[in-house]
Chain A
Amino acid sequence: MKYAYYPGCAAKGAAPELHQATMKVVQKLGIEIKELMAFNCCGAGVITEADPDLAYTLNARTLATAEKDHLDIMTVCGTCQGVLGGINKKLQGDDALRARINVALKESTGLEYHGTVEVKHLQWILVKDFGIDALKTFISHPLTDLSIAPFYGCYILRPSSTSRFDDWENPVSLEKLIQAIGAHPVPYDGRTKCCGFPVFLEKEKIALSMVGERIGEAKEKGGDAMVTPCPLCHMSLDIYQERAEKNRQREKGFTEKLDMPILHLPQLLGLAMGFTPDELGMKRHLSPTGSFIDKIESQN
């Protein structure tokens, strides 16, 4: 089991703890990876907004690089998965498009993409390629009695025309992973909704209301922590949590604190495999993780 690892900008920028936790987990599980050291940004859908062909060419470069090594790509970011995976599906399904993009790609980089690569999020790899049963054998510190609210975000599910792994109306893969580590998945509506990240600088109010709603609902349904496969969702829910809490108190009259630890998927799995919070980079989070870590430690 070997993949070309595409970390994405966030794991190499504002969310280095995601890269850190990913490395720990894949090493422990014996999943072989070759990091795409010279990777470029997938464009996060924003470059597609400016110029679709430009975004296609950039992502074709990533795909062609992995193809040279005959490897499928592993992503760790829901947004990268949506964009890179979505563009891959389009390039695979449309020969004329691929030919046009290859002209641009070849002229600028000498590369060509033939459409043979699959793009899979770590979440999918674990559920499907690696397997839940195999994963369970690595769980040395099960998080029994803890309730974890899965937060999928948008792009790992939608559009379902190019993202078919989970059923977008009723996804189950995060729930399966939460159960695999012995914890209880929290059912709540917000798990497949938007985190607000794309409009934080444009419309902070809309974004804060989303963050407040998502965390508020997860908390109300008993979540001890939330877990997400997307570092951009993580940024929203983690970095903006304090503001969202104030906004929620001001606008909706809530009094309680949100106080919700937000974990990257490999961090959650890492904890159950016996890595310490420090080894998984949890000190970098802005929202409080202390009481959650205490709960885990009191169990083991």
Chain B
Amino acid sequence: MRVKLTVQKFDPEQDVKPHNRDYFVEAGRETTVLAALMKIKAEIDGTLTFRASCRAAICGSCPMQINGSQKLACRTSIFEELEHHQKISVGPMANMPVIKDMVVQMDPFWEKIRAVTPYVISSDDGERPIPTEALKTIQTDLENADACIMCGACLSACNSFEASDQFLGPAALAKAIRFQVDPRDEQHDTRLNALQESNGIWDCVRCVSCVQVCPKDVQPMEQIVRLRRRSIEKGLTDSVGARHITKFVKIVGEEGRLNEARLPIMMTWGSLKKMLRIIPLGIKMLLHGKAPITPHKVPDVHEIQAIFKRKQESKR
């Protein structure tokens, strides 16, 4: 079958801005977007530029925007895309500087990976026996965080990164959990402390985009959530982000529903600056009948309280 690929081309040395070009190629049931691009490069347009290597979703070189979201070109079927979108549009990953056509600057991605110190820190100089027993559970504890092939698709899709390029981002934070569960690492607490900082785990907006695009089901957002949970378990409860969780749970445990007037006060309690930010909004909401100052009255609230109580007791 003859199919049309609309490809975004951009050569910063020649073009003022990116432009689209349509290519027509023969494709069969098994043809991938990467195979089609290679065919175009070989037969139609030798200038077409993209990265690829393994052609088997292993090396992580070939992520690009295909029909609007980040996908590995070597794993994306032309047929399925056509079925789904009735068209095929291809472009470089979003939110990263374009070098040429589909090739983007990956430096921001690698900087973030480096920022989480992606290796085991240990005083062992190779003398100690390998802790085989302790290492047995690591595979389950990782919950697939180690499946990452460093393609950068998640960072490109990350809504928080788009708004704030200093955010450590999904892949680096998913990498960070690896060193929380590795029994050989001696810096668990220092590492976790560092992730509380601005640009760390509390900057994720939970938009689920990383989970959605990751070709290896690393579920970066879920890994970030694990880091958050771990932080609270280890007593790192002072950040506004941590309080968002603990106070939310406290309010629903008492009232059965979220009280939107109480939560901001409890979250920002103690920080005059933050409180001064919310008070004017609170007043405006009040004037518009949007500040629920009276607590929710929930019938059978004892049932909800019982669920929380049972949970607390089981934790003890």
Q: Which residues of A contact B (CB under 8 A)?
A: 9-10, 12-16, 37-41, 43-51, 53-54, 57-58, 61, 104-105, 107-109, 154-155, 158-160, 167-170, 193-194, 196-199, 201-207, 209-210, 213, 239-240, 283-286
Nearest-neighbor residue (CB-CB) of A53 within chain B: B311
**Stretch of B104-112, B179-187, B224-232 lying at the A interface:** B224-232
* Known A-B contacts A54-B311, A170-B85; A194 and B290 likewise in contact (beta carbons under 8 Å): no
Q: Is B12 an interface residue (CB 8 A)?
A: no
Asked whether, in the complex, the Cβ of A9 is within 8 Å of the Cβ of B307, the reply is no
Between A and B, 27 residue pairs with Cβ closer than 8 Å are A9-B257, A13-B257, A13-B292, A14-B261, A16-B290, A41-B258, A44-B258, A46-B244, A50-B246, A50-B248, A57-B307, A61-B303, A154-B207, A155-B208, A159-B212, A169-B67, A169-B68, A170-B67, A199-B205, A201-B278, A202-B203, A202-B241, A207-B205, A210-B163, A213-B163, A239-B281, A284-B289
Asked whether, in the complex, the Cβ of B258 is within 8 Å of the Cβ of A209, the reply is no
Asked whether, in the complex, the Cβ of A201 is within 8 Å of the Cβ of B245, the reply is no
Asked whether, in the complex, the Cβ of A54 is within 8 Å of the Cβ of B308, the reply is yes
Asked whether, in the complex, the Cβ of A109 is within 8 Å of the Cβ of B307, the reply is yes
Q: Is B114 an interface residue (CB 8 A)?
A: no
Given contacts A194-B209, A201-B244, A206-B164, 13 further A-B contacts (CB under 8 A): A15-B290, A39-B257, A40-B252, A40-B257, A46-B244, A47-B248, A50-B229, A50-B232, A54-B307, A196-B163, A197-B205, A199-B205, A207-B205
Interface string of B73-92 (1 = CB under 8 A from A): 00000000000110000000
* Known A-B contacts A13-B260, A169-B69; A105 and B307 likewise in contact (beta carbons under 8 Å): yes
Of residues 230 through 260 on chain B, the ones whose CB sits less than 8 Å from some CB of chain A are 232, 239-241, 244-246, 248-249, 252, 256-260
CB contacts (< 8 Å) of A155 on chain B: these are 208
CB contacts (< 8 Å) of B248 on chain A: these are 43-44, 46-47, 50
Give the docked Cα–Cα distance between A26 and B162 (Å): 38
* Known A-B contacts A54-B311, A202-B244; A286 and B284 likewise in contact (beta carbons under 8 Å): yes
CB contacts (< 8 Å) of A201 on chain B: these are 240, 244, 264, 267-268, 274, 278
Q: Is B296 an interface residue (CB 8 A)?
A: yes
* Known A-B contacts A50-B229, A169-B67; A9 and B308 likewise in contact (beta carbons under 8 Å): no
Q: How far is the CB of A192 from chain B (nearest CB, A)?
A: 9
CB contacts (< 8 Å) of B207 on chain A: these are 154, 158, 193-194
Q: Which residue of the partner chain, among B159, B249, B296, B301, contacts A193 with CB atoms under 8 Å?
A: B159
Q: How many residues of B contact A (CB 8 A)?
A: 67
CB contacts (< 8 Å) of B212 on chain A: these are 158-160, 168
CB contacts (< 8 Å) of B203 on chain A: these are 199, 202-203, 206
Q: How far is the CB of A133 from chain B (nearest CB, A)?
A: 23
Q: Which residue of the partner chain, among B85, B208, B211, B245, contacts A49 with CB atoms under 8 Å?
A: B245
Asked whether, in the complex, the Cβ of A154 is within 8 Å of the Cβ of B306, the reply is no
Give the docked Cα–Cα distance between A54 and B296 (Å): 20
Q: Is B288 an interface residue (CB 8 A)?
A: yes
Give the docked Cα–Cα distance between A255 and B108 (Å): 31
Asked whether, in the complex, the Cβ of A108 is within 8 Å of the Cβ of B257, the reply is no
Q: How far is the CB of A112 from chain B (nearest CB, A)?
A: 13
CB contacts (< 8 Å) of B51 on chain A: these are none
Nearest-neighbor residue (CB-CB) of B240 within chain A: A202
